[in-house]
Amino acid sequence: MATQGWVGGQGVRWADSTQDEFIVTFSDGIYGGFLLWGSNEPSDQFTSMTGAQPLYGYGTFCAGGWIIATIAFEQFTYASRTGGGPLVPIIYTVGQRVLFSLRGLFTNEDEWTPSGDPRAPNTYFIGNVVQAPAPENNNYIVLQTSI
């Protein structure tokens, strides 16, 4: 994560460590929670936050009940993203349950089943849609998390 960076709202899961510390990595559908801030957001430029999280290898982890507006969600169906064909938008509706995709973004699709993941189906729901993305909200999705 420190190398690749991450977006604010990125889903993460716990990972083993050889040190006495708590480590997270990108979620693959399993959840621990989500990261509050991205690793290098425009709003953090020219502040003490600039590049601090990946440099020092830390992040702020969120679980429990939140209401957030985020762009860290899957915009196109898993099949169209991996199939090489035209991208098919995912339509989100209010009240729909969401989970983490194979790369840890919020989605309404179970990606374990089409990817052949032996853990399928993914029923690790961690929130629901409060406001669907639209031009009126600058294409953010608003979510109520329950982790």
Partner 1 sequence: MSDQTRTRDSVILVKGDAYPVTVDGILATQGWLGGQGVQWVASALDEFVVTQSNGYYAGFMLWGSNESSDQFTAMTENQPYYRFGTVGAGGWHILTTTFEKYTFLSRKSGGPLVPLVYHASDRLVFSIRGYWTKEITEWVDSGIPDLVVRGLNEYYIGFVTQSPSALTNFYMGIQVSI
Task: List residues binding partner 1 (CB under 8 A).
Answer: 13-23, 30, 32-33, 63-64, 147
In the bound state with partner 1, the residue whose beta carbon lies nearer, of 128 and 131, is 128
**Residue whose C-alpha is closest to residue 128's, from 144, 104, 109, 106:** 144
User: Minimum distance from CB of 112 to partner 1 (Å)?
Assistant: 15
Helices (H) and strands (E) in the chain, counts: 3, 9
In the bound state with partner 1, the residue whose beta carbon lies nearer, of 25 and 131, is 25
User: Minimum distance from CB of 39 to partner 1 (Å)?
Assistant: 21
User: Minimum distance from CB of 20 to partner 1 (Å)?
Assistant: 5
- Give the C-alpha separation, 129 to 140, whole Å: 11
DSSP E strands in the chain: the ranges are 11-15, 23-26, 33-35, 61-62, 65-70, 97-100, 106-107, 127-131, 141-146
In the bound state with partner 1, the residue whose beta carbon lies nearer, of 20 and 136, is 20
For tokens 């909200």, name the residue.
137
In the bound state with partner 1, the residue whose beta carbon lies nearer, of 21 and 136, is 21
User: Minimum distance from CB of 49 to partner 1 (Å)?
Assistant: 22
